[in-house]
Amino acid sequence: MAEKRSTPKIEVRIAEKSDVAAIIALSGRVFKDEKPYTRGMILGQLSAFPEGQFIVVYEGDVVGYAATMILPEERALKQHTWVEVTGGGYAAMHDRKGEWLYGTEICVDPDRRRLRIGKRLYDARRRLCQDLDLKGIAFGGRMPGYQRNRKKYDTPEAYIEAVKTNEAKDPVASFHLSAGFEPERLLKNYYPSDTASGGYGVLMVWRNPYYDPAREDQPVDRSNPDIVRIVTVQMQARQISKPQDFYDAVEYFIEVASEYGGDFVVFPELFTLMLLSCETEELKPEAAIQRLTEHTPDFVQRLTDMAIRRNINIIGGSHATKTDDDEIQNVAYIFLRDGSVHEREKIHPTPNERQYWQIMGGDSVETIETDCGPIGVMICYDSEFPEVARRLTDQGARILFVPFNTDTRHGYLRVRYCCQARAVENQCYVVTSGMTGNLGNVDNLDIEYAQSGIFTPCDFPFARDGIAAEASENVEMVTVADLNLATLNWARYEGSVRNLRDRRLDLYKTRWADGG
User: Mapping DSSP to helix (H, G, I), strand (E, B) and coil, where does residue 109 land?
Assistant: coil
- List, as own/partner pairs, every contact residues 420-424 make where C-beta atoms lie below 8 angstroms and the sequence separation is at least 24, other chains included: 420/455, 420/466, 421/386, 422/378, 422/383, 422/386, 422/389, 423/455, 423/456, 423/457, 423/458, 423/466, 424/457, 424/458, 424/466, 424/499
User: Mapping DSSP to helix (H, G, I), strand (E, B) and coil, where does residue 262 land?
Assistant: coil
Going by C-alpha positions, the residue among 196, 164, 42, 47 that lies closest to residue 107 is: 42
CB atoms within 10 A of CB 433: 30
User: Mapping DSSP to helix (H, G, I), strand (E, B) and coil, where does residue 34 land?
Assistant: coil
CB atoms within 10 A of CB 32: 8
CB-neighbour burial class of residue 296 (10 A; exposed 0-12, middle 13-18, buried 19+) = middle
Q: Per the residue annotation, which of 99, 269, 345, 470 is the catalytic one?
A: 269
User: Mapping DSSP to helix (H, G, I), strand (E, B) and coil, where does residue 102 land?
Assistant: strand
Going by C-alpha positions, the residue among 268, 234, 230 that lies closest to residue 484 is: 230
372 belongs to the catalytic site: no
Query: Which contiguous run of DSSP H or E holds residue 161?
Result: helix 156-164
Sequence-distant (≥ 6) Cβ neighbours of residue 440 within 8 angstroms: 446
380 belongs to the catalytic site: yes
CA dist 162 to 123, 198, 199, 361, Å?
26, 16, 18, 60
Q: Per the residue annotation, which of 9, 99, 105, 346 is the catalytic one?
A: 346
Q: Per the residue annotation, which of 372, 380, 428, 458 is the catalytic one?
A: 380
Per-residue b or e along 482-505, where b marks 16 or more CB atoms closer than 10 Å to that residue's CB = ebbbebbeebbeebeeebbeeeee
Angle at alpha carbon of residue 258, lines to 253 and 263, rounded to 5°: 110
DSSP label at 429? Answer: E
Rounded-to-integer distance, Cα 278 and Cα 26, Å: 45
- Please spell the DSSP secondary structure of 432-473, one letter per residue: EEEEEB--TTSTT-S-BB---EEE--SSTTS-TTSEEEEPPT
Query: Which contiguous run of DSSP H or E holds residue 500?
Result: none
Residue type, 327: E
Query: Which contiguous run of DSSP H or E holds residue 137?
Result: strand 136-141
Residues annotated as part of the active site: 269, 346, 380
